[in-house]
Structure 1
Amino acid sequence: MTDYWVLIFFNLLFTSVPPIIYGVLEKDVSAETLLQLPELYQSGQHSEAYSPLTFWITLLDAFYQSLVCFFVPYFTYQGSDIDIFTFGNPLNTAALFIILLHLVIESKSLTWIHMLVMVGSILSYFFFALAFGALCVTCNPPSNPYWIMQKHMLDPVFYLVCVLTTCIALLPRFLYRVLQGSLFPSPVLRATYLDRLAPEERAEALKKWRGTAKITQMASNYAGQSAAKSGRPEAGLSAALPVRSVTACAVEQEDLPTCETVLDVDYSEQVSQR
């Protein structure tokens, strides 16, 4: 559906540099935040980003994108008299935009270097396609890419196919990231939000984070000690402890010693009752 020179440069040049830049410059959390919240390293230690569930979701998403990338142009040009290379041109163009915008969705630290590389990839693709279609009349017989991109760039249907294919292909991934960030953000994602705050707000948020983590750890330790002494399941006492209210106290009142005292009193009362 496309000339092999276009395929070679598609993988070698147009879509190779952006993932490399993404891998080199991508940064979830700043170094200052990591120094103050070392527990964020647990996600890497537990391989949370490379779980089997993540693998299968990514595999299914890639399969879905490939189906969209083929069938949207297929149904658009169904019944027309275009040749196979003219049909393959919008597939390649849509695939390029899907790959680049997928990186934008996954990136957590976009910089001007990312944008420069992506714009350069798009411009280099169109420049090569236009030059190849204008100069290479019989470079690779029996294929004939002559003037294909030039004709498509004058056709509004070509732009509609590229935009529609890209949006439909990336919609599930985009919705997944939106719901993940809104409903069940990971600790790393929450820490990423802290880096976007003003210095004063960031310092206050870090104070609340550490206070909440300390209270939760104390409640867990108390529950474990009580379960070990009484021989009862740990979940019973853990559920009885007012962990949620004490944590809210640490966050809302910003008074960690007071909250610790309340927790100690509640724990002592429950142990004496038992």
Structure 2
Amino acid sequence: MLFWYILCTAFSTTSALTDWSSVFYSVIYTSVPTIVVGILDNDLSHKTLLKYPKLYDAYNLQLFWITMIDTLWHSLVLFYIPFFTYKESSIDIWSMGSLWTIAVVILVNIHLAMDIQRWVFITHAAVWGSIIVYNTNRTC
């Protein structure tokens, strides 16, 4: 999504994100839920996966390009809807960056939630908790 910001600012060096927001986005808001789900949401045992390596064939070139198009679509929507909505307002760039970041955090966690096969307390805490933690840190 920041690609569209760079294009709109003509490749200037200004940033829409604070340094802490950028670090926490990568470390806490999206990676922790993914790691928790990856550890806890096991459909098949490691023995089964090693015994049947063809199970990995589900991810192919067609699925890759569908994922790339989906990602492009989401980035355009998440960037340009707030951009045009607040274009004539007095909102500052860091507030806009916070809006873009929360949109991405919510989208990433909703995509993750759609892939979860087995919900337990810790997966709920990781997925929904990252959204809540972001909103709590943003308003402080």
Q: Give the TM-score, by structure 2 length.
A: 0.76
Give the Cα separation in 2 of the matches to 1:127 and 1:40: 40
Q: CA deviation at 1:73?
A: 0.5
Give identity over the alignment, percent: 33
Cα shift readout 1:143-173 (whole Å, capped 9, x = no counterpart): xxxxxxxxxxxxxxxxxxxxxxxxxxxxxxx
Tell me: CA distance 1:62–1:113, structure 2 relative to 1, closer, same or farther (3 Å): same
For 1:227, the equivalent position in structure 2 comes to: none
Q: How far apart are 1:94 and its partner, in Å?
A: 0.8
2:69 counterpart residue number: 60
For 1:58 and 1:107, how far apart are their aligned partners in 2? Answer: 18
* Offset at residue 69 of structure 1 (A): 1.0
Give the length in aligned residue pairs. 123
* Separation (CA, whole Å) in 1 of partners of 2:56 and 2:17: 40
Which residue pairs with 1:18 in the alignment?
33
Matched, 1:85 2:100: no
Counterparts of 2:68 and 2:51 in 1: how far apart (Å)? 25
Instruction: Give the secondary structure class of the aligned counterpart of 2:119.
Output: coil
Structure 2 vs 1, CA of residues 55 and 42 (structure 1 numbering), >3 Å: closer, same or farther? Answer: farther
Partner of 2:7: none
Q: Residue 28 of structure 1 corresponds to which residue in structure 2?
A: 43
Instruction: Quote the offset at 1:105 in angstroms.
Output: 1.0
Larger radius of gyration: 1
Q: Does 1:118 align with 2:133?
A: no
Question: Which stretches in structure 1 are left out of the alignment for 5+ residues?
Answer: 31-38, 132-274
RMSD: 2.4
The Cα shift of 1:130 comes to 2.3
Contact 1:14 1:122 in 2 (8 A): yes
Distance 1:75 1:26, change over 3 A: same
Could you tell me whether the CA contact under 8 Å between 2:17 and 2:98 is conserved in 1?
A: yes
TM-aligned CA distance change 1:43 to 1:109, over 3 Å: farther
Question: Counterparts of 1:17 and 1:23 in 2: how far apart (Å)?
Answer: 10
Contact persistence 1:43–1:49 (CA under 8 A)? no
Task: State the SS of the aligned residue for 2:26.
Answer: helix
CA distance in 1, matches of 2:41, 2:58: 14
- In the alignment, the residues of structure 1 paired with residue 20 and residue 116 of structure 2 have an alpha-carbon distance, to the nearest angstrom, of 30
1:42, CA displacement in angstroms?
Answer: 8.7
Q: For structure 2, which runs of at least 5 residues remain unmatched after alignment?
A: 1-15
Tell me the amino acid that sits aligned with residue 18 of structure 1: P
Counterpart-to-counterpart distance in 2, 1:49 and 1:22? 20
Deviation for aligned residue 1:43: 7.1
Shift of 1:52: 0.9
Question: Residues 3 and 85 of structure 1 are in contact (CA less than 8 Å); yes or no, is this contact kept in structure 2?
Answer: yes
Equivalent-residue separation in structure 2 for 1:105 and 1:89 (angstroms)? 24
Which of structures 1 and 2 has the larger relative contact order (alpha carbons within 8 angstroms, sep 6+)?
A: 2
Report the residue type matching 2:106 in the other structure.
F
Contact 1:2 1:85 in 2 (8 A): yes
- The whole-number CA distance in structure 1 between the counterparts of 2:39 and 2:91 is 42
SS in 2 for 1:47: helix
Amino acid in the other structure paired with 2:17 = T
